[in-house]
């Protein structure tokens, strides 16, 4: 059968972009369909706008430090509208960069949502397209909790485009998305109340990390309501009343409610059943080479049942292209993927938490910890702390986990990830001479 394309990609996010550009370099005919701006969730309403907002949120605390170093204090206020405008300009610039990259690579960009008609045929904007191989890279979407009155709440998608900054924001959720958005909005000057039915924030993370982040959030003025459920959301004029149960049995009045409790693969309208593609739970089921149950249909990124992070999607897309078109079969190794929480304070981890290590290794685990005030905050006399932790397999002396909360955590853990992935031991850490004075050197002095 003669196909229109050798490869058709559904979704121009990180996974789809990396796969299409790598595949076309092998000389295959590639087209990619996208219904939104090119760049996907990461560029449009995910890690890029979140990071820009995180940068903006830190400036108020930078000014506090500056006063301790002799800079005269000045009145400082945040202009929400100016930031939103600048953020949108940057997002559209990045989308154009990705669009131009596709054009220069020779990938055809087709605007619209692709829907399967059969195993090899798709429809995009009324056009029927056939392809030998098809890659699904549609990402995920926010899902609101099932609460009466939840229609009054927003998700992160809407948060980044609000015309006015919330005065008092209630954030529903305890995972890294909810935590970082709550911290960002508090740093920008909004009052924030974090509400969760769980015992604590960041349930999947090391408990010491969760405690350190909680302390930092509390220090910044965020109210945390744990073991608390939202029974209903009721509009009262310009206010929203949250009827709470559990540990905090009260009614909380705010002007904005952000629901950040769950994300699921964005599979709506794909017509997967017409192509016979198997879905497990809410995600597309794939093997180690991103192949679905249909040998010519593949999936990468947040629509699959694997780690949902931008670098993972990029790596999966490139590995798929190398395997299918480059005669270089390869799959990814997920054991030591560094993970960040752009919270305030920020946190980052690589490897096993203490709990997971003990599940795997039993009592053969030793942990090393340190908490200290970084030098930067000494003159301003700010009670800002850094927490670091190493998790070690006693039998081999191998470091199986590194965790950090505090400034530069992301950059430091990113660098440690390589050493830990290559099997660095605690003796290797002890023998390493650090740079003084720095926060990173503390990882080499833990005893």
- Per-residue pLDDT tens over the stretch 41-72: 889 988 899 999 999 998 877 877 888 888 88
pLDDT at position 305 over 90: no
Does residue 406 surpass a pLDDT of 80?
yes
Q: Based on the domain organization, do 303 and 429 belong to the same domain? A: no
DSSP tag of 6: E
| CA distance linking residue 90 with residue 97, whole number of Å | 10
- pTM for the model stands at 0.93
In whole angstroms, what is the distance from residue 418 CA to residue 38 CA?
31
* 18 belongs to a structural domain: yes
Q: Name the band, by pLDDT with cuts 50, 70 and 90, for residue 297.
A: very high
Q: Is residue 413 part of a domain?
A: yes
Query: What was the pLDDT predicted at 79?
Result: 94
- Whether 27 and 137 map to the same domain: the answer is yes
Query: Do the domain assignments include residue 336?
Result: no
| Residue whose token pair is 């089921």 | 285
Instruction: Assess if residue 369 is contained within a domain.
Output: yes
Q: Where are the alpha helices (DSSP H) in 76-232?
A: 80-105, 156-159, 176-187, 207-219
Residue 73 gets which letter from DSSP?
P
Judge whether 36 lies within some domain: yes
Q: Note the pLDDT of residue 63.
A: 79
The answer, yes or no, to whether residue 145 has pLDDT greater than 80, is: yes
Known catalytic residue at 436: yes
The domain spanning residue 439 has which CATH number?
Answer: 3.30.390.30
CB–CB of 402/349 below 8 Å?
yes
Q: Phi and psi at residue 298, in whole multiples of 5°?
A: -130, 165
Are 253 and 271 contained in the same domain? no
Helices and strands in the chain, H and E counts: 12, 23
Distance CA 338, CA 403 (A): 10
Q: Which of 168, 344, 355, 436 is catalytic?
A: 436
With a cut of 90, say whether residue 360 has pLDDT above it: yes
For the segment 121-132, the average pLDDT, to the nearest whole number, is: 97
DSSP 8-state assignment for residue 291: B
26 and 71 co-located in one domain: yes
What's the CATH number where 239 sits? Answer: 3.50.50.60
CA–CA distance, 109 with 113 (Å, rounded to integer): 12
115 and 225 in one domain?
Answer: no
**Separation CA 213–CA 182 (nearest Å):** 12
**Residue 144: both structure tokens together:** 């609101």
For the chain, give the percent of residues with pLDDT over 70.
Answer: 100
Residue 67: per-residue pLDDT: 81
Q: Are 143 and 264 in contact (CB under 8 A)?
A: yes
Instruction: Check whether residue 283 and residue 246 sit in a common domain.
Output: no
Q: How much of the chain, in percent, has pLDDT values that exceed 90?
A: 88
- 201 near 286, Cβ under 8 Å? no
Q: Do 355 and 211 touch, CB atoms closer than 8 A? A: no
User: Is 44 in the same domain as 155?
Assistant: no
Within a domain: residue 330? no
What is residue 322's predicted lDDT score, i.e. its pLDDT? 98
Instruction: Kindly state the greatest CA–CA separation across the chain.
Output: 75
Indicate if 228 and 114 belong to the same structural domain: no
Residues 239 and 307 in one domain: no
User: Are 46 and 134 in a shared domain?
Assistant: yes
11, 133: one domain: yes
Q: Are residues 362 and 433 in the same domain?
A: yes
Q: What is the mean pLDDT of residues 219-242?
A: 97
d(C-alpha 435, C-alpha 430), whole Å: 14
The boundaries of the domain holding residue 124 are 5-141+264-325
Please give the mean pLDDT across all residues of the chain. Answer: 95
Give how many domains the chain has, as a whole number. Answer: 3
**pLDDT (mean) for 369-395:** 93
């Amino acid at each position: 059968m003669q196909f229109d394309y050798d490869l058709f990609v559904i979704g121009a996010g990180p996974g789809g972009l990396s796969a299409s550009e790598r595949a076309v370099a092998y000389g295959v005919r590639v087209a990619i369909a996208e219904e939104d701006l090119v760049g996907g969730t990461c560029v449009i309403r995910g890690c890029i706008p979140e990071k820009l907002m995180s940068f903006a949120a830190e400036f108020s605390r930078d000014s506090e430090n500056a006063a301790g170093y002799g800079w005269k204090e000045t009145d400082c206020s945040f202009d929400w509208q100016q930031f939103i405008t600048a953020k949108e300009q940057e997002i559209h610039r990045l989308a154009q960069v990705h669009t131009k990259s596709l054009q220069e690579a020779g990938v055809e960009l087709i605007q619209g949502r692709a829907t399967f008609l059969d195993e090899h045929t798709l429809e995009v904007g009324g056009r029927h397209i056939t392809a030998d191989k098809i890659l699904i890279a549609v990402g995920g979407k926010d899902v609101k909790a099932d609460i009466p009155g939840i229609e009054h709440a927003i998700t992160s998608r809407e948060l980044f485009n609000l015309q006015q900054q919330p005065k008092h924001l209630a954030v529903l959720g305890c995972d890294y998305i909810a935590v970082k958005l709550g911290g960002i909005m508090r740093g920008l000057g909004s009052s924030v109340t974090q509400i969760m039915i769980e015992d604590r924030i960041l349930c999947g993370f090391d408990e010491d990390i969760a405690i350190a982040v909680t302390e930092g959030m509390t220090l910044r003025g965020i109210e945390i309501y744990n073991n608390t459920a939202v029974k209903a959301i009721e509009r009262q004029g310009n206010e929203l009343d949250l009827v709470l149960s559990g540990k905090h049995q009260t009614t909380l009045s705010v002007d904005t409610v952000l629901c950040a409790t769950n994300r699921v693969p964005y599979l709506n309208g794909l017509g997967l059943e017409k192509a016979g593609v198997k879905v497990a739970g809410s995600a597309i089921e794939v093997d180690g080479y991103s192949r679905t149950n249909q040998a010519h249909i593949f999936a990468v990124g947040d629509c699959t049942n694997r780690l949902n992070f931008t670098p993972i999607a990029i790596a999966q897309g490139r590995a798929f292209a190398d395997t299918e078109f480059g005669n270089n079969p390869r799959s990814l190794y997920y054991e030591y993927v560094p993970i960040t929480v752009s919270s305030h304070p920020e946190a980052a981890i690589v490897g096993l938490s203490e709990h997971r290590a003990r599940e795997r290794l039993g009592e053969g685990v030793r942990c090393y910890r340190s908490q200290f005030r970084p030098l930067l905050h000494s003159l301003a006399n700010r009670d800002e702390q850094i927490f670091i932790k190493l998790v070690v397999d006693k039998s081999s002396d191998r470091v199986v986990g590194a965790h950090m909360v505090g400034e530069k955590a992301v950059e430091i853990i990113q660098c440690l990830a390589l050493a830990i992935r290559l099997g660095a031991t605690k003796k290797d850490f002890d023998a390493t001479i650090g740079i003084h004075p720095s926060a990173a050197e503390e990882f080499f002095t833990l005893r």
